[in-house]
Amino acid sequence: MPNARFNEGWLLKKVVVCPPQKEYFNVVETEKHNIRQRSDPDRAIEQHRKLRELLRNNGAEVIELPELEGHPNSIFTMDTSLSLGDSFIQLRMGLETRRGEERWMAKILRDMNLEKIGEVKHPGTAEGGDLIPAYPYFFIGLSSRTNAEGARQIKRIVEKYGYEVRMVPVPKKHLHLGGAMTVIGDNTVLACESISEKYLAGFDVIRIKCESFISGNIINLGARRVIAESKNIETIEILRYYGFNVQTVDLSEFVKGSGGPSCLILPLHREHSISE
């Protein structure tokens, strides 16, 4: 039986990314794909390259995949699956134009010898941006992308592996729960003021006002190191005040696609560190 213990606050060791090449730029019906504005190809390609460089410089193995044909949002690998280290849960995308990405990623993860321990099935929907494992806790965001049935299915699966599940309504400003909060240590959470204290019991909470839909969206590298979008000024300043090493990267071309830093990575392996 897989261990399936995973915590977003641990050291980041391996991720899957999908650098933009053509699909992200070949969008005709932007609203249908929830893309706010078309991206500049040269800028987007360079921004993503810099993100990959940052990840590697901080000790993470970066596995690069080609985009899924006909799926401009496939660059946002976070949403396509839930990886729990030695295993994964196959999801079912809430945005209809993203359906198929979950099967694409499931095959890739099986080929990497991760064991499939469950699957979200119709009428349930769940996207990775709403699923935050913080063993022994597990946060599930209830949003326009993750419905109540999808959340119930995820809950049934992860409770078998010892998680205590907390269902969190996602504030309207945010697409996913990951836009409003990030686990940044074993027992530390960065969270928007709009996330009720009752969902965060047992954690040290660093509060931010969240003026942007990605204010709470950062990549936790572990050992008090994070990556933030360069214009996320409030979050950068607050985390630095609390002694975090905040590394910044311009990801404006992906904000146009309704995404933030963590949306662009699917963490495959995190390592528990005593220093955490």
Q: What is the pLDDT along the chain (276 residues), one digit of tens a residue?
A: 899 999 999 999 999 999 999 999 998 889 899 898 999 999 999 999 999 999 999 999 999 999 999 999 999 999 999 999 999 999 999 999 999 999 999 999 999 999 999 999 999 999 999 999 999 999 999 999 999 999 999 999 999 999 999 999 999 999 999 999 999 999 999 999 999 999 999 999 999 999 899 999 999 999 999 999 999 999 999 999 999 999 999 999 999 999 999 999 999 999 997 544
Class for the domain spanning 11-271 = alpha beta
H/E stretch holding 77: none
Q: What is the pLDDT of residue 28?
A: 83
Residues 6+ apart with CB under 8 A from 5: 84, 85, 135, 161, 162
Residue of 43, 62, 42 lying closest to 52 (CA atoms): 62
pLDDT the model gives residue 250: 98
Residue 58 CA to residue 11 CA, distance in Å, equals 10
DSSP 79-114: GGEEE-SSEEEE-B-SSGGGTTHHHHHHHHHHHTTP
Q: Which H or E element spans position 43?
A: helix 41-57
Side-by-side strand order, sheet with 181-185? 181-185, 188-192, 204-208
Retrieve residue 100's tokens. 């198929």
What's residue 5's pLDDT? 97
Q: What is the residue extent of each domain of the chain? A: 11-271
pTM over 0.95: yes
Nearest partner of 131 among 118, 121, 140, 122, judged by Cα: 140
pLDDT at 260: 96
What's the pLDDT score for residue 274?
A: 54
